[in-house]
Amino acid sequence: MSQQTAPRGGAAWALVITSVAGFMAALDNLVVTTALPSLRKDLGGALDDLEWTVSAYTLTFAVLLMFGAALGDRFGRRRLFQVGVTIFTGASAAAAMAPGIGSLIAARAVQGVGAAVMMPLTLTLLTAAVPAAKRGMAYGIWGAVNGLAVASGPLIGGSLTEHISWHWIFWLNVPLGVALLPLARLRLAESYGAGARLDLPGTLLASGGLFGIVYGLVRGPADGWTSPLVLTGLFAGSALLAAFVLHGTRAKNPMLPMRLFRSRAFSGINAASLLMFLGMFGSIFLLSQYMQGVLGYSPTQAGLRMLPWTGMPMLVAPIAGILSDRIGGRPVVATGLFFQAAGLAYLASVATTDASYAAQLPGLIISGIGMALFFAPASNLVMSSVRASEQGIASGANNALREVGGALGIAIMSSIFSAQGGYETGQAFVDGLRPALVTGAGVVALAGVAALVIPRRRAAERDGSASPARSSSPALETASR
């Protein structure tokens, strides 16, 4: 059980504080995408540099998320939440003032560290402050605010870039973070989690392995796939990840127990999540540049035109939730993934140097519907795939794998883009974009196949895998909401 001090503020304050913090962390996943052409122009970055401005954040966020949640459980959730907000805010200011692309990438990596500490504790702190009878409504508001951040990320990034400067996509976080620090101190109660796991060896192995692989994929097109550094990154990264898997089978309290993957349901939904984010993030990374660099849209116009994709979950997710309650999450998730794959394939087929927005719109809508059908049921599938005592670690692992998928997607699809095209002309960009989008569509279709591996609801119930009980580590439940 967790230990908690006397509450300092009401549920309303906790909802405001945690929602704003979640908004900042979720926003920074996509806010940079529509600013990429401006970053490339002002800071002189090549394609691999642009990849790292996004991947540096998602990668550090992914590999440190479960470790950050465990730190909060052990040393105090409010205390570590404040630490996370401080790191995130300071790194945002450093990113805004970055004089070059290298310093921007470094600041983005530190932002990811702050988000990994801050984000998983938002839901735990909210749970501690809100009475049980009102938690459903509080979770709904918290989730809607996070969904709004994802939906509006490209639009906010584009608008600030066009009308002020790209620096303000990072300055935006600073006043919000500065305001949250005293509010968290005065209005949130301190709490601790029993049996918190601090798996430093596992964290180091996962971090090093993922960094090596992503580094190799990012640098491969520029340095050559036989370059010593590229080969070292790929082989060393693979070896470290293999060691991480071995560690997860033998360690007493591993960050990610590998025995969880013996469950078809757990393996299927996590494979689907990783592959879905791989195809989605890589596609958004390239399409946002295509809309501005080839079709000539302004950053704001590009952000608005992405809304049918990124904003569709706000409209369709409630319907997806109702459907999953009636027929089970498996068919809804699989259908959503096949919709997403079809949307990407359609966008690849209509991509030209002068494609109209009307021609692109069906693909954006189909992809958005697919994304919406995936998100809501996937959360429930993750939580029902393991025993109640392991739901926290399962949800944290799923969130981490999603972020890893995003980082890998940008690296892999950019490598395909570089091999087939480039920035020289609009036609060169389209020549690279099309095979990258086709690859993204194929990867998301594989995610749909992985979702079909998940047992049907009645079979899962016979196996006793579903359980409505709460997790013993609520800090990690953030990912499943």
**pLDDT tens-digit readout, 54-64:** 888 888 887 78
Map residue 191 onto helix, strand or coil.
strand
Quote the pLDDT of residue 192: 78
pLDDT over 50 at 165, yes or no: yes
pTM higher than 0.85 for the full model?
no
Read off the pLDDT of residues 292-339 as tens digits, 9 standing for 90 and up.
Answer: 889 988 888 888 888 888 777 777 767 777 777 788 788 888 999 999
* Spatial distance between the Cα atoms of 114 and 92, rounded to a whole number of angstroms: 10
Q: Which residue has the higher pLDDT, 264 or 342?
A: 342
pLDDT value of residue 82: 94
Higher-pLDDT residue of 3 and 68 is 68
Residue 321 or residue 230, greater confidence: 230
C-alpha distances out from residue 306 to 58, 336, 422, Å: 20, 18, 22
Mean pLDDT computed over 393-399: 75
Alpha carbons 348 and 263: distance in angstroms, whole number: 36
Distance in angstroms (rounded) separating the CA atoms of residues 340 and 145? 23
Tokens of 59: 């990668």
* Interior/surface letters 143-179, b for 16+ CB within 10 angstroms, e for the rest: bebbbbbbbbbbbbbbbbbbeeebbbbbbbbbebbee
**CA–CA gap between residue 389 and residue 467 (Å, rounded):** 10
Task: Judge contact between 261 and 248, C-beta under 8 A.
Answer: no
What's the pLDDT score for residue 275?
94
Q: CB of 223 within 8 A of CB of 230? A: yes
pLDDT at 392 (0 to 100): 64
pLDDT at position 86 is 96
Provide the mean pLDDT of the chain.
82
- pLDDT (average), residues 456-479: 44
Task: Tell me what the mean pLDDT of segment 196-223 comes to.
Answer: 80
Residue 238 has pLDDT above 80, yes or no: yes
Q: Is the pLDDT of residue 107 over 80?
A: yes
**Bigger pLDDT: 48 vs 204:** 204
pLDDT above 60: residue 243: yes
pLDDT reported for residue 376? 67
Does the pLDDT of residue 177 top 90, yes or no? yes
Ranking 70-74, 220-224, 366-370 by mean pLDDT, the lowest is 220-224
Beta strands in 70-224 (DSSP E): 191-192
Between residues 198 and 426, which one has the greater pLDDT? 426
Report yes or no: 376 and 317 within 8 Å, Cβ to Cβ. yes
Least confident of 136-145, 220-229, 437-446: 136-145
Residue 170 in this model has a pLDDT that exceeds 60:
yes
**pLDDT digits over 427-464, tens only?**
999 999 999 999 999 999 999 999 998 887 654 444 44
Least confident of 81-95, 102-116, 354-368, 373-387: 373-387
**Shortest CA distance to 473 belongs to which of 266, 195, 198, 270?**
195
Give dist(CA 305, CA 322) in Å, integer: 28
User: What are the tens digits of pLDDT across the range 6-34?
Assistant: 445 578 888 899 889 988 888 887 788 77
What angle separates helix 200-223 from helix 47-75, to the nearest 10 degrees?
180
Return the minimum-mean-pLDDT range out of 198-212, 311-325, 405-419, 439-453: 311-325
Task: Report the DSSP beta bridge partners of residue 191.
Answer: 4
Q: Assess whether pLDDT exceeds 90 at residue 402.
A: no
pLDDT band at 88 (very low <50, low <70, confident <90, very high): very high
Dist. CA 387–CA 228, nearest whole Å: 45
pLDDT score of 397: 78
**Predicted local confidence at residue 372, as pLDDT:** 81
The dihedral over CA atoms of 172, 177, 178, 182, expressed in degrees to the nearest 10, equals 150
Distances (CA, A) of 395 to 84, 127, 275: 20, 16, 17
The mean per-residue pLDDT over the stretch 218-222 comes to 75
Contact 438, 412 (CB under 8 A): no
**Kind of pairing, strands 191-192 and 3-4?**
antiparallel
pLDDT at 414 over 90: no
- pLDDT for res 140: 63
